[in-house]
Amino acid sequence: MHVNYNCTANNMSSGSDLKGLTLLYNRTAKILVQPIVTTTTLAPGVLNKGAPWLAAAHQIVPQSSAIIVVVLLIITATVYLAFRPKIVYLIDYACFQPSSNLRVAKANFLEHQHLSPLLVDSTVNFIATVLERSGMGDETCVPPVLHYIEPYCGLDEARAEAELVVFSAVDDLLAKTGINLDAISVLITNISAFCPVPSIADVIVNRYKLRGDLRIINLSGMACSASVNAVGLASNMLRVMPRGSHALLVSTETIGPSYYEGNTRSMQLSNILFRIGGAAKLLSCSRGKARFRLGHFTRTITAANNDAYQCAYQEEDEEGNLGVALSKDIMNVARDTLKVNIMATAPLVLPASEFLMFLLFFVAKKVFCRRNTRPYIPNFCVAFEHFCIHVGGPAVITSVQRGLNLSDKHVEPSKMTLHRFGNQSTSSVWYQLSYIEAKGRMKKDDKVWMIGFGAGYECNTIGWVCIQPSSRVDGPWASCIHRYPVDVSKIG
């Protein structure tokens, strides 16, 4: 996933480059050029229309000039406030904290694979190699059904797993915010592999007796980027709803139903890396009690490309076992998708000087295409103090770190989350945010960049601005934050 802009190293087609450059140009024009053109075009007309009236008013009542100016300013401010997009806030969030009896040490996990009659020796050896390099520690957790040597996950077991995570996270969020349930106008849930009838969103409505005119969206099949995508969807809905509306977002992944029982290596990766986890978030257009303000949301989807579309693909193996196959091209696809997302995000977040430098270097590389010219990597550290990178594995985190030229401190939340909780799919970025706060590193006005990758293939990113840092250490890191960071260099 190394974001390398060298024209010979990134292996992107000229068509993809042209699309990226066009997108970059359009964003630049919208942000920098359009306001200037609009202002210079309309200003002469406004002055010509208003000058005679202002001059006449000044001659008739010279002493009222100040009053006229004040009235015009009030009218302008009123119009601006009436038509500007509403600001979306994160009131608070809560992460599921698994019980210690769900812990699965790597040695125990590997022993179960050895004892399984479903797996051949070569598959077990492959699992042992991946597990050793996974970057995970011995405190990650799996649902109860996966503690059996031959796991069986029926409908009841899948429901139990989903309800365990979802209800715990929502209960914690409601306790932290103290919100009246009738104030929740939107409910968005995302679980990729488990789509029961009624939906998980309906399960939540039934459990908490939410209002009958609630707007419900249940996302599925979007994998690890769905949580970030849900924030963008909720923000769009809140901006067209009455002020004071709230949106409840619940993210998790049920790993029991998606457990793979075969010997195809590309399908075994999800068994090895994925662990139980979930998060609940409360968004609103009301600033009251808010802890973060939404800065930007950028979505990049490459499903129109067949290689990208099939790099994370649910299918059956030769023996009819259902699983999710991860293509060998997934790292290249993720790298290229992140590159396009960066090009769309850069004009929104980078200072003008840094963005112009990035734009000039990008154009120069495409024009001259010199192999030995060192690519210019935008310094996103001037735009963000903290980074929450999807914990797909050590290679994913390291590639993003190198591609964005981040320090070890910047990727520490990602690596520590992977070590302590494993790959929790869609909710992992929230565990990273919780880590930053538990360490006391979040300050008022600090900016956070969440980067999520998912099937499709997608790269979704959001930016947050801290309004009120947490005043206490709570959540999933409360009992172990004193032990972190740990040295993971020998783990994976």
Query: Considering only CA atoms, which of 74, 484, 85, 431 is closest in space to residue 224?
Result: 431
How far does Cα 180 stand from its chain's mean position?
27
Give the separation between CA 429 and CA 338, rounded to whole angstroms.
16
Q: Residue 82 — very low, low, confident or very high, per pLDDT cuts 50/70/90? A: low
Neighbours of 9 (CB within 10 A): 11
Q: For residue 249, tell me if it sits in a domain.
A: yes
Any idea what the Cα angle at residue 271 is, between residues 265 and 272, rounded to 5°? 85
pLDDT for residue 38 is more than 50: no
Asked if residue 89 lies in contact with residue 285, where contact means CB atoms within 8 angstroms, the answer is: yes
Query: Considering only CA atoms, which of 52, 53, 34 is closest in space to residue 42?
Result: 34
Task: Check which CATH number belongs to the domain holding 276 and give it.
Answer: 3.40.47.10
pLDDT for residue 113 is more than 70: yes
Give the separation between CA 173 and CA 201, rounded to whole angstroms.
16
Q: For residue 181, tell me if it sits in a domain.
A: yes
pLDDT tens for 86-105 read 899 999 999 999 999 999 99
Give the separation between CA 48 and CA 265, rounded to whole angstroms.
73
Query: Rounded to a whole number, what is the largest CA-CA distance in the chain?
Result: 98
pLDDT for residue 12 is more than 80: no
96 backbone dihedrals φ, ψ, rounded to 5°: -65, 135
Of 83-87, 88-92, 336-340, least confident by mean pLDDT is 83-87
Q: For residue 51, tell me if it sits in a domain.
A: no
pLDDT tens for 220-265 read 988 899 999 999 999 999 999 998 899 999 999 999 999 999 999 9
Q: For residue 1, tell me if it sits in a domain.
A: no
pLDDT for residue 34 is more than 70: no
Asked if residue 99 lies in contact with residue 165, where contact means CB atoms within 8 angstroms, the answer is: no
Which residue reads 């023996």 in tokens? Answer: 319
| Residues contacting residue 334 through CB under 8 Å, at least 6 positions apart | 1, 392, 396, 399, 453, 457, 459
pLDDT tens for 284-317 read 999 989 999 999 999 999 999 999 999 999 999 9
pLDDT for residue 36 is more than 50: no
DSSP-H helix ranges across 312-407: 330-349, 352-368, 394-404
The percent of residues above 70 in pLDDT, for the chain, comes to 82
Q: For residue 52, tell me if it sits in a domain.
A: no
Q: For residue 6, tell me if it sits in a domain.
A: no
| Owning domain of residue 297 | 89-473
Q: How many domains does the chain have?
A: 1
Return the bridge partners of 325, or none: 313
Q: For residue 258, tell me if it sits in a domain.
A: yes
Mean pLDDT of 143-159: 93
Give the separation between CA 144 and CA 485, rounded to whole angstroms.
28
What is the predicted pLDDT for the residue at 381?
Answer: 93
Give the separation between CA 376 and CA 372, rounded to whole angstroms.
12
What is the predicted pLDDT for the residue at 75?
Answer: 76
CA-CA-CA-CA torsion for 482, 486, 491, 492, nearest 10 degrees? Answer: 110
Q: For residue 484, tell me if it sits in a domain.
A: no
